[in-house]
A and B are shown apart, each in its own frame.
Chain A
Amino acid sequence: MRKFNIKDLILDGITYLFSSVSLILLVIIFIFIFQKGFSSLNLELFTSPYWSENYYASIPASNNTYLLKSTLDSNEYYSEKFGIALKDDFNARNEAIVVISYVHPDSPFNELTNSTSGANEGQIITAQEGMIVNKISYINSNGVTRSAGLVIKQMAEDTINTIEKSDQLDSVFLQTQGGGILGSLIATIMLILISLLISLPIGIMTAIYLNEYAKYNRFTPWIRSSIELLTGVPSIVFGLMGVLVLFPITSVFGASGTSILLGGLTLSIILLPVIIRTTEESLKVVPDSFREASHSLGANHSQTIFKIIIPAALPGILTATILSIGRIIGESAALIYTMGTYISDKPELLKGATSLAVQIWSIMNGDQPNFGLASAISIIILVMVLVMNIGVKVLTRSKVKKW
């Protein structure tokens, strides 16, 4: 008797241990990602482009002094002559940079003239907090143009001291910080819209056909098992298929290579089995008594389906939609071939771009992997997927049978 108890105890122990392993692993992953990414996480991430923009701009003359009304931090250095404060900082790759920390409202830096040749030459640029100052050219007492700033290895304090000695500034080389996810965010939303637009109608109609029209058909089991098979195909194979089979379709619309459209088409095929199965499950739950009642009132088959069955199955169809969105956000392998890995700040339907997940891949794939940004995007993806899953939970709970 006692021996038996010990054996039970050991088995119980093993069960507890192993079941907690997955939980512990999950928690560790979360902690690490949050540790790495949390400092990079801010609102600007969502609104700023990934690639930094360079501005070479001339500074208007001024002979005012701009007195500081508020106090600055100890690491900020202010030039009263030109109304600008600089500070030392590090960029995402841990390189030392000098950024603007304050611009006086009347400062000449508010009205810079873009002198980079190109379409935007001559436009007025405003120096903004957070922009990187690489070089400020000034005219010294001999009337000779000289440079100050990062290009001659001056940090914030030296740069300010140098330009304070001068009476007139000539030009400034500014750089936006970049490293944002705006482009990928837009591309992901476009991807979601395209894939859902294609796969939802096809998937829902297929599920309706299988469950309502062809319930006892000889071919239904075959269709069903091929759908099951599709679920098991690795997504990278779908990616390859997208390149080989679907690319000709997108080229009809004018795509010359990887494109968001191609990615969307490929993803919609990946989503089909998920949507069909989830929708079918929700159709099965609709009680037969609804079908009988509808028929007994003289409704025909399609009236019964579209007026009664589909509305009753709507929570399940919504669940399928949310699950699909989660899948789209998380998918990467199939998109590397079909949408490319070049991070685009202005995504277009027929051009390549990255989704959030692929942006992580691109960032980590370079010579200098940017762990901070990658982790920050991971957090965003995790939160999105988490919200989706909670949404599914809420929906399925509200669906609790009233009938």
Chain B
Amino acid sequence: MENSFSINNLNLFYGDKQALKNISMDISRYEVTAFIGPSGCGKSTLLRCLNRMNDLIPNVRIEGDIVFDQENINKDKIDVVQLRTRVGMVFQKPNPFPMSIYENVVYGLRCQNIKDKNVLNKVCENSLRKAALWDEVKDRLNDNAYGLSGGQQQRLCIARAIAMEPEVILMDEPTSALDPIATAKIEELIQELKKDYTIIIVTHSMHQAARISDKTAFFLMGEVIEMGETRNLFHVPKDKRTEDYITGRFG
């Protein structure tokens, strides 16, 4: 299967502290890849490298290559804005903007100077449908997004990312702030979205990784210990440390 990202010898430093060590991995297209590992192991940091969100943090130094669509996105001269429209992101806590549901969804398009009302309306409806939120909000698109429940807010954030028609959606622990029912809905949605998008999800829950992902990477202390088919990784881990982690001996 075709690769979406190829990461090669990636090292990342926060000041003097090295947060990622010699990461190399390929991420396949139209699959769900899960990053698991204990807190502070670098899984979110790697995720944020894929759409250059680490640019927002001062004193970060990144070495190595991340190839996306035959281009090394780890170079200074790439168009970061264009990259981010192709690689969307959903965050840990639902973070809709304090504006209407409609405006939240079309925000990214507006930033691209798309003003045509018909286009915006169409994209808004399609994105909300894909995020399985349309039926719940179609009558109150102009209400403030903060009137929605936590799970709905998170699905709105997914719709907002989908509206940009990205190729990849990065999800940074998207269900950690949600209740089990909302979590189930999001997981169902991820299964649905995987037909059209490459999904990379960071999760704290091994069960979630086992349920929804095709491939899993296990991180420890800034290194990838093991990566492979989710079924294999959970049933026949090759590394002792992976086994210890998934059987709950630490973490």
Contacts and interface: CB of A to CB of B under 8 A. Distances in A.
B168 to A, nearest CB: 12
Contact of A403 (B85, B110, B111, B146): B146
A296 B157 CA distance: 11
A297 B86 CA distance: 9
A312 interface: yes
Given A289-B93, A289-B95, A297 B56 contact: no
A216 B58 CA distance: 8
Contact of B81 (A215, A290, A300): A300
Contact of A296 (B82, B89, B93, B110): B89
B108 interface: yes
B98 A402 contact: yes
B95 A403 contact: yes
A290 B111 contact: no
Given A289-B91, A403-B146, A298 B97 contact: no
B95 A300 contact: no
Contact of A290 (B89, B95, B108): B95
A307 B111 contact: yes
Contact of A303 (B53, B85, B111): B111
Contacts of B95: 287, 289-290, 292-293, 403
Interface residues of A, number: 22
Nearest to A297: B108
Contacts of B164: 297-298
A308 interface: yes
B88 A297 contact: yes
Interface string B78-102: 0001101100110101010111000
B197 interface: no
A402 B53 CA distance: 25
Interface string A277-297: 000000000010111111111
Nearest to A298: B85
Contact of B161 (A215, A291, A297): A297
A48 B97 CA distance: 50
A122 interface: no
A215 B82 CA distance: 25
B98 A292 contact: no
Interface in A237-295: 287, 289-295
A367 B51 CA distance: 75
B43 interface: no
B112 interface: yes
B84 A293 contact: no
Nearest to B92: A289
Interface string A109-142: 0000000000000000000000000000000000
A298 B112 CA distance: 8
A298 B84 contact: yes
B99 A311 contact: yes
Identify the interface centre among A297, A311, A403: most chain B CB within 10 Å of its CB.
A297
B155 interface: no
B125 to A, nearest CB: 18
A387 interface: no
Contact of B107 (A215, A287, A307, A403): A307
Identify the interface centre among B84, B88, B111: most chain A CB within 10 Å of its CB.
B111
Given A297-B88, A300-B81, A311-B98, A292 B53 contact: yes
A298 B146 contact: no
Contact of A295 (B56, B82, B160): B56
A297 B160 contact: yes
A298 B108 CA distance: 6
Contacts of B91: 289, 292-293, 296
Interface in B142-160: 146, 157, 160
Contacts of B157: 293
Contact of B108 (A287, A289, A299, A312): A299
Nearest to B85: A298
Contacts of A216: 58
A294 B56 contact: no
A297 B99 contact: no
A290 B83 CA distance: 19
A402 B82 CA distance: 31
A297 B114 CA distance: 14
Given A289-B91, A403-B146, A299 B107 contact: yes
Nearest to B97: A308
A291 B56 contact: yes
Nearest to B103: A307
Contacts of B112: 298
Interface string A372-403: 00000000000000000000000000000011
Nearest to B157: A293
A312 B95 CA distance: 13
A296 B96 CA distance: 12
13 contacts: A216-B58, A287-B95, A292-B53, A292-B89, A293-B91, A293-B157, A296-B51, A296-B53, A298-B84, A298-B111, A298-B164, A299-B107, A402-B98
Interface of B: 51, 53, 56, 58, 81-82, 84-85, 88-89, 91, 93, 95, 97-99, 107-108, 110-112, 146, 157, 160-161, 164
Given A215-B58, A293-B89, A403-B146, 17 more contacts: A287-B95, A289-B93, A291-B56, A293-B91, A293-B157, A293-B160, A294-B107, A295-B56, A295-B84, A296-B88, A297-B88, A297-B107, A298-B108, A299-B107, A303-B111, A307-B107, A311-B99
